């Protein structure tokens, strides 16, 4: 259709490469299909999967456009047919998509949109969907968390764990532990977020310290992004009937040396991996509803906070990706259009 409008979007030179390969391209503006909305993007959040996808190392779901980005905020500019959700043109929204958020417009299922509360800025709202929905999924759906249980969030100052610590605290966790690579990050988790205690994996054997802190009991739910290097210690740190939720393998996928798997029987430990982006829309929508139910009122009254590390202009996306690659951040990196 020759009259289709165009828009600016971030593309990757030659399809894959380093941060420097990102550039602003002009591509056709998407058209909203049935039950979709076209959102004029105000801000989008960066996630680690964006770095992997940019390097050509992430399996992109078939329904995703080429453009990076899964979380955004903005205003609805068009609605597709058969829209039964309570959205209208001009509504301020934020949401989760299979891809395409690094652009001026995104076509997305209206079932994955949430009305933006006036109390949140567009920058804050853009940092919620992927991280808070992933934390909700890890804690409740996979981790089967119950009030009164204890939780360990690895990479405590990562965006998902920042969300998870707040969710666990509000849900009545008996104790919330974190691991992180600096005292500054641990202090942030304990003092700013309300974690019970943190362990520095660079200077401490965190599994031993955790067992000491829990009088040998261990923790009920462990959320891990590191993978192979933590596999044995996760089994060691898990409580009786403990659940270990694997969300990423940032430390690699092959364990070194022999692994003692006796905790699987001795402690009845369950290990389960999970992803979000590869899930069907029904599953994602259920999580969206859980987020609205568990968190939206708390964003409104300030109980839950979105920690934004830095906001970049759309055109400075190369710098934004480099900052994320530095692993120095506590909280979200956001780009605005």
| Beta-carbon count within 10 A of 264 CB | 13
Interatomic CA distance for residues 113 and 99, integer angstroms: 14
| Residue 148 falls in which region: left (phi positive, over 0), alpha (psi -120 to 50) or beta | left
In the chain, % of residues over pLDDT 90: 91
pLDDT of 101: 98
* Mean pLDDT, all residues of the chain: 95
- Burial class for 89, CB neighbours closer than 10 Å (0-12, 13-18, 19+): exposed
Q: Is the pLDDT of residue 277 over 50?
A: yes
| Cα–Cα dist 74/44, whole Å | 9
Phi, psi for 225 (deg, rounded to 5): -120, -5
Give pLDDT, residue 207. Answer: 98
Confidence of residue 260 (pLDDT cuts 50, 70, 90): very high
Strand 150-153 to 6-12 pairing: unpaired
1 pLDDT above the threshold of 70: no
Lowest mean pLDDT across 168-172, 235-239, 328-332: 328-332
Quote the tokens at residue 251: 């430390």
The model's pLDDT over 180-231, given as tens digits with 9 standing for 90+, comes to: 999 999 999 999 999 999 999 999 999 999 999 999 999 999 999 999 999 9
Q: Give tens-digit pLDDT for 88-112.
A: 999 999 999 999 999 999 999 999 9
* Structure tokens belonging to residue 169: 């605290």
pLDDT-derived band of residue 336, with 50, 70 and 90 as boundaries?
very high
> What are the chain's domains?
6-128+277-336 (3.90.180.10), 132-273 (3.40.50.720)
pLDDT of 3 reads 66
């Amino acid at each position: 259709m020759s009259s289709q409008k165009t828009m600016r979007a971030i593309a990757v030179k030659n399809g894959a490469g380093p941060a420097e390969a990102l550039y602003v391209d002009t591509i056709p503006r998407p058209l909203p299909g049935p039950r979709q909305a076209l959102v004029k993007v105000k801000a989008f959040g960066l996630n680690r999967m964006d770095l992997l996808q940019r390097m050509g190392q992430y399996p992109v779901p078939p329904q995703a456009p080429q453009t990076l980005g899964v979380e955004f905020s903005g205003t609805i500019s068009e609605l597709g047919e058969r829209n039964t959700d309570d959205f209208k043109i001009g509504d301020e929204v934020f949401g989760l998509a299979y891809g395409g958020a690094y652009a001026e417009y995104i076509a997305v299922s209206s079932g994955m949109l949430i009305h933006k509360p006036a109390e949140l800025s567009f920058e804050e709202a853009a940092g919620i969907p992927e991280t808070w929905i992933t934390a909700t999924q890890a804690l409740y759906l996979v981790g089967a968390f119950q009030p009164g249980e204890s939780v360990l969030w690895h990479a405590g100052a990562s965006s998902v764990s920042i969300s998870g610590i707040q969710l666990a605290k509000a849900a009545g966790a008996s104790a919330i532990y974190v691991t992180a690579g600096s005292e500054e990050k641990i202090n942030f988790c304990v003092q700013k977020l309300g974690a019970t205690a943190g362990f520095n994996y660079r200077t401490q054997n965190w599994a031993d310290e955790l067992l000491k802190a829990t009088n040998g009991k261990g923790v009920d739910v462990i959320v891990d992004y590191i993978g192979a290097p933590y596999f044995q210690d996760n089994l060691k740190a898990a409580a009786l009937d403990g659940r270990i939720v694997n969300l990423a393998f940032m430390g690699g996928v092959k364990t070194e040396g022999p692994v003692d798997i006796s905790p699987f029987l001795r402690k009845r430990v369950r290990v389960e991996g999970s992803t979000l982006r590869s899930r069907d829309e029904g599953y994602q929508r259920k999580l969206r509803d859980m987020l609205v139910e568990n968190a939206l009122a708390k964003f409104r009254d300030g109980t839950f906070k979105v920690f934004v590390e830095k906001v970049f202009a759309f055109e400075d996306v190369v710098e934004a990706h480099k900052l994320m690659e530095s692993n120095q951040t506590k909280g979200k990196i956001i780009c605005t259009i």
